[in-house]
Amino acid sequence: MICTNFIYAAAGLMFVVFAVLSATDHGNAKRFGNAGFYALLSVSFLFGDRIGDIGNGVLVLGLVAIAGSGAMGRGARGTTGPVERQAEAAARGNRLFLPALVIPATALLGTFAFTAVPALVDPKQITLVALTCGVILALAVGYAWFRPRPATPFAEGLRLMDSVGWAAVLPQMLASLGAVFALAGVGQVVGGIAGAAIPDGSLLGAVLVYTLGMAAFTMVMGNAFAAFPVMFAAVAMPLLIGRYGGNPAVIAAIGMLAGFCGTLMTPMAANFNLVPAALLDLKDKGAVIRAQVPTALPLLAVNIVLLYWLGFR
């Protein structure tokens, strides 16, 4: 059966190439920092299941040491300039979109195909497996059409990877911090505080603490998934459902969406808010969050109204 190992092998091999290309990039004064960082990531993807929990922990400490000491910088390999790109864009025309569309098209067809043959692929990872197939196919098309030197696509990918830099593993780090928080019982303490904040006998007060608590705790954790079990246990279950007889489906679904509004407003949700800013070369790393807040706040208000109105009929 094809499972995550296939995806991780592909990612691991890519990071091996990134590490080698970084180490041999003589124009970059910090080349060994970059190379070390990508080499550790390749070890994580290729051998993460074999080095044990402590081994993975030490690997993380290595990543933190490299990133925290400022040992990473942007690579100095050349790429094409604006004039060449403009000329090629004009010459190649709209066919340039085709390889880019191979990825989503394969992901789409693959998702349907793998769902039809469940024995072939681990059902939990169907989309990612299909996406990986799409990437490999698109890369093959790119090699056949542009005839680049073998390392060129990876050098170009490394250029984008360097613009993300250490922020690339921040989402994974924050997810791991969530696991330590869970182990230490942070959720129960926060839930206790939230529960104590509700004025006695006030349905509206309970709705507000639940929805705003979902948004606020999501902003701290960077992820509504971590906030939901806590706020549900502290407020939704004993009060909204237990005492006021609310509809559990409405309270769960809209509470989660209130948490998503929090995701739009926090640097802790690094993969949605900080990584895109890095990928787009924005000067202000908070620009994506600032673009989202004016949508997130009114939408949070709508969620509060919807939950109060639809949940208790």
Least distance in angstroms from the C-beta of 49 to other proteins: 7
Quick check: 229 binds other proteins (CB under 8 A)? Answer: yes
> What is the number of alpha carbons within 13 Å of residue 122 lying toward its C-beta?
10
> Over the range 173-197, which residues count as b (16 or more CB within 10 Å of their CB) and which as e?
bbbebbeebeeeebbeebbeebbee
Burial of 297 (0-12, 13-18, 19+ CB in 10 A): middle
Quick check: 243 binds other proteins (CB under 8 A)? Answer: no
Among 22, 42, 211, 303, binds other proteins (CB under 8 A): 303
Distance separating alpha carbons of residues 64 and 73, to the nearest angstrom: 15
Comparison of 198 and 266: residue with beta carbon closer to other proteins:
266
Among 181, 197, 203, 205, binds other proteins (CB under 8 A): 181
Touching other proteins, residues 84-103 (CB under 8 A): 84-90, 92-94, 96-97, 99-100, 103
Among 2, 20, 237, 312, binds other proteins (CB under 8 A): 237
Length of the chain: 313
Distance separating alpha carbons of residues 73 and 56, to the nearest angstrom: 24
Quick check: 128 binds other proteins (CB under 8 A)? Answer: yes
Cβ atoms of 49 and 82 closer than 8 Å: no
Quick check: 144 binds other proteins (CB under 8 A)? Answer: no
Least distance in angstroms from the C-beta of 203 to other proteins: 19
Residues 6 or more apart in contact with residue 298 via CB below 8 angstroms: none
Quick check: 76 binds other proteins (CB under 8 A)? Answer: no
Touching other proteins, residues 264-283 (CB under 8 A): 264, 267-268, 270-273, 275-277, 279-280, 282-283
Quick check: 32 binds other proteins (CB under 8 A)? Answer: no
Distance separating alpha carbons of residues 273 and 292, to the nearest angstrom: 9
# chain residues binding other proteins, by CB under 8 A: 138
